Structure 1
């Protein structure tokens, strides 16, 4: 009986969350600020993003304002200037960020957005990018606010710009090795 109840509960949760429509877009960060939360268990952030590319017809405006909720410090996607952000609608029909899922977007080249997924093990699906450098000083400064513990800059660099995809040039600059176009990175999680 206990196994049956557990299976039914898992099935119910899966059905509830699998039927939630996900809206995705490439956005440019305008602002991310912590605001007062209605729930003491979650931190709440108000996000303002410029829509650079929408993957859904229902995202019609050029700027989106939405809330994110997290148990930890500031949300990690705020480190990047651009990201694919995944949203759902709440019961009021407002966009909210779904469990802080995101995909970093690093480069726009020839009208296409490029990024990477830290969890990808296979770089063979990625394109080799030559002679593209990024100044990441500002990104690492934001990273220090995300992880408020005393963390070394080298750790931050590897956390947000992994060696698999980037080559360190100096303390504040990296060279891009591999990226993938946004459409191939898109995952409805």
Structure 2
């Protein structure tokens, strides 16, 4: 009976938040800090991001502070220095990142932000990018805090830098193969 009630609560929350207006922005991570949660079912994180690009006029500040709620480990987008993050507003009118949806943003080229959606099945609509190698050592170290189990670098690299978008060069470096502009990524979500 408890399981049935829990499933009902989760579905209710999911339905409520799936009908909320979504606000998206490309941001640079300043800090992500685990804080005390009001709800024992969720972990709570306080996020501070520098706003680099907005997709809605509701976000009017150059620095955004918002909370994230997850019932998993530390939020995965913390691995990336830049991400497109999707927010909703709570009852108090504050931006909240409830479902931890994000899109990794990897590169700024010619004034445009580029990233990838790891769930895309192929690279149709992506641009071939010829760029110098990316040093991802710091990102892999953060990835080890997201996944507390003893995980190998190769698994982390494949999880956060999938082979269809990146070519592995060595232990801590990848080369970009394909990315999509932030605008196209936003429209496809």
Q: Return the TM-score normalized by structure 2.
A: 0.90
Superposition deviation, residue 175 in structure 1 = 0.2
CA displacement, residues 105-143 of structure 1 (integer Å, 9 cap, x when unaligned)? 000000000000001012021000013321100000000
CA separation of 1:148 and 1:16: change in aligned 2, threshold 3 A: closer
* Distance (whole Å) between structure 2 residues aligned to residue 14 and residue 46 of structure 1: 21
Other-structure match for 2:35: 35
Could you tell me whether the CA contact under 8 Å between 1:42 and 1:70 is conserved in 2? yes
For the pair 1:91 / 2:91, whether they are aligned, the reply is yes
CA separation of 1:156 and 1:14: change in aligned 2, threshold 3 A: closer
Other-structure match for 1:167: 167
Gaps of 5+ in 2: 1-11
* Distance (whole Å) between structure 2 residues aligned to residue 31 and residue 107 of structure 1: 20
**DSSP 3-state at the match of 2:20:** coil
CA separation of 1:173 and 1:88: change in aligned 2, threshold 3 A: same
For the pair 1:79 / 2:49, whether they are aligned, the reply is no
Other-structure match for 1:176: 176
Larger radius of gyration: 1
* Distance (whole Å) between structure 2 residues aligned to residue 188 and residue 90 of structure 1: 25
CA separation of 1:69 and 1:14: change in aligned 2, threshold 3 A: closer
For the pair 1:116 / 2:116, whether they are aligned, the reply is yes
Other-structure match for 1:5: none
* Distance (whole Å) between structure 2 residues aligned to residue 51 and residue 169 of structure 1: 31
* Distance (whole Å) between structure 2 residues aligned to residue 72 and residue 19 of structure 1: 23
* Distance (whole Å) between structure 1 residues aligned to residue 160 and residue 87 of structure 2: 22
**DSSP 3-state at the match of 1:179:** strand
CA displacement, residues 28-72 of structure 1 (integer Å, 9 cap, x when unaligned)? 000001000111111000000000000010100000000001111
Q: CA RMSD in A?
A: 1.8
- Equivalent residue pairs, number: 179
Could you tell me whether the CA contact under 8 Å between 1:22 and 1:188 is conserved in 2? no
Other-structure match for 2:64: 64
